[in-house]
Structure 1
Amino acid sequence: MRPVPPPPRLRLLGQFRLELGTETVELCRNGQRLLAFMGLRGRVSRTVLAGTLWPEATEEHARGSLRTTLWKLPRGEPPLIRCHGDTLLITPVLRVDVHALTRTALGVVRDHGPPLYATPPLEALTGEDLLLGWDEDWVLVEREHLRQLRLHALDALAATLIRQGRPALAMEAAWASVRAEPLRESAHRAVVSAHLAEGNVSEAVRHYHAFCRMLNEELGVAPSPQFTRLLPGRTGWTGWTGQAGRTG
Structure 2
Amino acid sequence: MEFRLLGEVGARTDTGPVELGPARQRTVLAALLMTANRPVTVDRLADRVWGDGPPQRATQTLYSYVSRLRRLLPGVITRGQGGGYVLTADESAVDVHRFRQLLGPARQCDDDARAVTLFRQALELWRGEPFPGVDTPWFNATRETLRKEQWAAELDCTDLRLRTGEHTALLTPLSERSAAHPLDERLAAQYMLAAYRCGRQADALAHYRHLRDMLAEELGIDPGPELQRLHRAMLGGPEPVPPPAPNGNSHRHRTQSGRVPLDPPVPTAAGPTGVRRTHRNGPAHRGGTDRPCRRTGRRVRLSRRRQEHARRAPRPPAAYRFPRRPVVRAPGGQQRPAA
Q: TM-score, normalised by structure 2?
A: 0.58
Aligned-pair CA distance for 1:33: 1.1
- Could you tell which deviates more after superposition, 139-148 or 40-49? 40-49
Which residue in the other structure is 2:85 paired with? 88
Q: 1:154 to 1:115 in 2, by over 3 A?
A: same
Give SS of 1:75's match. helix
Aligned-pair CA distance for 1:22: 0.8
Q: Residues of 2 paired with 1:126 and 1:178: CA distance?
A: 21
Aligned-pair Cα RMSD in Å: 3.4
The number of aligned residues is: 235
Which residue in the other structure is 2:186 paired with? 186
Conserved? CA contact 2:31–2:48, under 8 Å: no
**What is the 5 A alignment of 1:76-225?**
78-86=74-82, 87-93=84-90, 95-108=93-106, 110-112=107-109, 114-117=111-114, 121=120, 124=124, 127-171=127-171, 174-175=174-175, 177-178=177-178, 181-225=181-225
Aligned-pair CA distance for 1:49: 1.5
Conserved? CA contact 1:104–1:124, under 8 Å: no
Q: Residues of 1 paired with 2:170 and 2:87: CA distance?
A: 38
Q: TM-score, normalised by structure 1?
A: 0.76
In terms of Rg, which structure is larger? 2
Output one character per residue of 1:196-242: Cα deviation in whole Å (capped at 9) or x when no partner. Answer: 3445422221221232344445444432222111023687xxxxx75
Give SS of 1:27's match. coil
Q: 1:60 to 1:36 in 2, by over 3 A?
A: same
Q: Which runs of 5+ in 2 are unaligned?
A: 236-290, 292-299, 308-339
Q: 1:116 to 1:184 in 2, by over 3 A?
A: same
- Could you tell which deviates more after superposition, 118-127 or 151-160? 118-127
Code of the residue aligned with 2:95 in structure 1: it is D
Matched, 1:27 2:24: no
Q: Residues of 2 paired with 1:10 and 1:223: CA distance?
A: 43
Conserved? CA contact 2:48–2:139, under 8 Å: no
Q: Which runs of 5+ in 1 are unaligned?
A: 1-6, 236-240
Code of the residue aligned with 1:48 in structure 2: it is R
Give SS of 1:229's match. helix
Which residue in the other structure is 1:13 paired with? 6
- Could you tell which deviates more after superposition, 91-100 or 140-149? 91-100
Q: 1:77 to 1:135 in 2, by over 3 A?
A: closer
Q: Residues of 2 paired with 1:79 and 1:172: CA distance?
A: 48
